Amino acid sequence: MSRDFAPPPRATIEADVARALTEDLGSGDVTAALLPDIADSAYLLCKQDAVIAGRPWFDACHRALDPQVRIDWRIAEGERVASGTVLATLQGRARSLVSAERTSLNFLQTLSGTATLTAAYVDAVRGTRARILDTRKTIPGLRLAQKYAVRVGGGVNHRIGLYDAVMLKENHVRAAGSLTAAIQAARALRPSLPLIVEVETLAQLDEALQEGCTRILVDDFDAATRRQAVAIAAGRIPLEVSGGVDLAGVRAIAEDGVDCISIGALTKHVQAIDLSLKLGPSPA
């Protein structure tokens, strides 16, 4: 697993956590108030095989409610763990541990889900030249967190938003009158930004190769046309595949020789990892 990942700025993580805790706690945790406000312990259990991502958000949730809480992680961020693994132990105030439980788990379960699925795709294309990319199909308000989880899983971030790369698609081409006109307009407006161009035919591929860009997206090409596109591009400009990609078919796409495969499901179809936080000493 690649260790070349860094979390978003601390202020971003704390803002995510503050928003989530406000949503959950409201005017106060009326159930935790039934507990004695005494020192207690807890342990974090993973109930399925997973790649763990989201430790910074988990920690921030608990420290927001109890700055003195002690969290001892037994695993590293990005580590693959087996079902039944105790991930961490905590020492803090009983009420704070319980009040932070759900929000902290929501972050860790969601981000670990994204990292685990990303790792499965990365494993599936291992040995080919293809890199696994994410998309902008993220949970609103959690884009930086989810894109971080993709990196933890070994994937690569596509553009973060609408501001850090120019991406020309069919609507832009239609408005400009042609692919060439759209590329030239994009270069004139934002010459310093990466330029990604979607093509729908081999003729448009030739046009994009002639004009030049950072990457060419061959969207919804069938296998035969995709292999033709790889042969035509001949490594001059990286080719990206998007649309209709699943885990069963991703290896075949990668073996066609494309450079990137972008997959919205990494951040859109999130299956949370099964975790639980239990009060009391760790069983092992």
Q: Which residues are annotated as a binding site?
A: 102, 135-137, 159, 169, 198, 219, 242-244, 263-265
Q: Kindly name the residue from 137, 227, 268, 278 that is annotated as catalytic.
A: 137
Q: Nearest-CA neighbor of 221 among 187, 244, 237?
A: 244
Joined together, the tokens standing for residue 157 give 């971030």
Q: Whose CA is closest to 5, among 44, 50, 55, 39?
A: 55
* Full strand arrangement of the beta sheet holding 260-262: 131-133, 260-262, 239-242, 215-219, 195-199, 166-168
Instruction: Classify residue 111 by burial, with Cβ atoms within 10 Å: 0-12, 13-18, 19+.
Output: buried
Q: Active-site residue 147, yes or no?
A: no
Q: Which of 102, 187, 227, 251 is catalytic?
A: 102
Residues sharing a CB contact under 8 Å with residue 104, sequence separation 6 or more, in sequence order: 57, 58, 61, 62, 277
Active site residue 137: yes
Active site residue: 14, 200, 219, 255, which one?
Answer: 219
Query: Maximum distance among all alpha carbons in the chain?
Result: 72
Active site annotation includes 169: yes
- Which residue positions form the known binding site for substrate? 102, 135-137, 159, 169, 198, 219, 242-244, 263-265
Active-site annotation holds for 219: yes
101: annotated active-site residue: no
From the list 74, 80, 169, 187, the catalytic residue is: 169
Q: What CA–CA distances, in Å, run from 189 to 13, 174, 184, 237?
A: 33, 18, 9, 21
H/E stretch holding 244:
none
Question: Pairing relation of β-strands 195-199 and 215-219?
Answer: parallel
Active site residues: 102, 137, 169, 198, 219
